[in-house]
Structure formats: structure tokens, C-alpha cells
């Protein structure tokens, strides 16, 4: 497996809209392989953070998302929105700030890939509902 393919499979297993079709154990394992092989790449840490969030490993998710954001091209809404949800799940008061940062990033940056745009919209709605911001 190439690392980008492994990352793509991990992402697909972690973010599958039909929850019962997710394979979170595989998602976390594959994402860990990617981050171990290429720890300097932001997307691998983002995928690991998202997979850990989906696997209800919120503390570890926050750590991985922070690692992603510290890397080049890692300060993106894909990290911000999941940071908002993980921080909310942990009871931290800064969850809304992370959500708003993700919304601002989405408004300020062009996302050329249609699938990425659709996923950002889905994650934004998911975070808004979780944080009780829907319709506000």
C-alpha cells in the first residue's frame, strides 16, 4: 500500500456517513501506520485525529489534531471542526471557538475538490448540532 492510499482508506473508514459501515479499528490502525512512516505530513495526523474522534478516543484525538495543525498546511477546517467536537465531548469551554475558526477558514479559503467541500459542510453541520448551534 502506498501511504496516500492507506490514508485514504483510513479516512473512508473513519468518515463513512453510514456509521454501521465504518471500520474504526482499521481506520485508527492505518492512520497510525501513516503517521509513523511520515510524521511530518499534516493529513496523516488529521486522519488519525478524526479516526480517534470517531472511535470515542477524544483525548488522543485532540493530541493528533494538534500535531496536524502544527505541520505545514495543517491549520485547516478539517482539524478545527473535529477539535471543536472533541473538546466539546471532553467538556472544554473552547469548543465553540474551534467551531467558529473552522467556519471562518471555510469561508476564507477556496476548496476546489467537490468531495472535500461536501465533507466540510457535513462536518460543520455535525459540529453545529453537537454544540447546540444549529439554526443560530
Q: Give the pLDDT confidence of 13-70 residue by residue, as tens digits.
A: 999 988 888 999 999 999 999 999 999 999 999 999 999 999 999 999 999 999 999 9
The confidence band for 73, taking pLDDT boundaries of 50, 70 and 90, is: confident
**Cβ-based neighbour number of residue 55 at 10 Å:** 16
Q: What is the pTM of this model?
A: 0.94
- Which one has a higher pLDDT value, 1 or 117? 117
76/97 Cα distance (integer angstroms):
14
The confidence band for 74, taking pLDDT boundaries of 50, 70 and 90, is: confident
DSSP letter (8 states) at residue 96 = H
Mean per-residue pLDDT of the chain: 94
Neighbour-count burial for 17-29, b at 16+ CB within 10 Å, e otherwise: eeeeebbbeebbe
80 contact partners, CB below 8 Å, separation of at least 6 = 98, 99, 101, 102, 105
Nearest residue to 44 via CA among 93, 89, 10: 10
Amino acid at each position: 500500500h502506498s501511504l496516500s492510499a492507506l490514508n485514504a482508506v483510513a479516512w473512508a473508514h473513519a468518515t463513512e456517513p453510514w456509521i454501521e459501515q465504518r471500520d474504526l479499528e482499521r481506520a485508527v490502525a492505518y492512520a497510525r501506520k501513516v503517521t509513523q512512516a511520515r510524521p511530518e505530513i499534516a493529513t496523516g495526523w488529521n486522519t488519525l485525529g478524526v479516526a480517534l474522534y470517531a472511535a470515542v478516543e477524544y483525548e488522543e484525538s485532540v493530541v493528533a489534531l494538534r500535531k496536524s495543525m502544527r505541520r505545514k498546511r495543517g491549520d485547516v477546517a478539517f482539524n478545527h471542526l473535529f477539535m471543536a467536537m472533541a473538546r466539546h465531548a471532553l467538556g472544554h469551554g473552547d469548543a465553540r471557538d474551534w467551531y467558529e475558526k473552522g467556519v471562518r477558514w471555510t469561508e476564507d479559503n477556496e476548496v476546489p475538490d467537490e468531495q472535500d467541500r461536501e465533507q466540510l459542510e457535513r462536518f460543520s453541520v455535525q459540529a453545529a448540532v453537537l454544540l447546540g448551534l444549529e439554526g443560530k
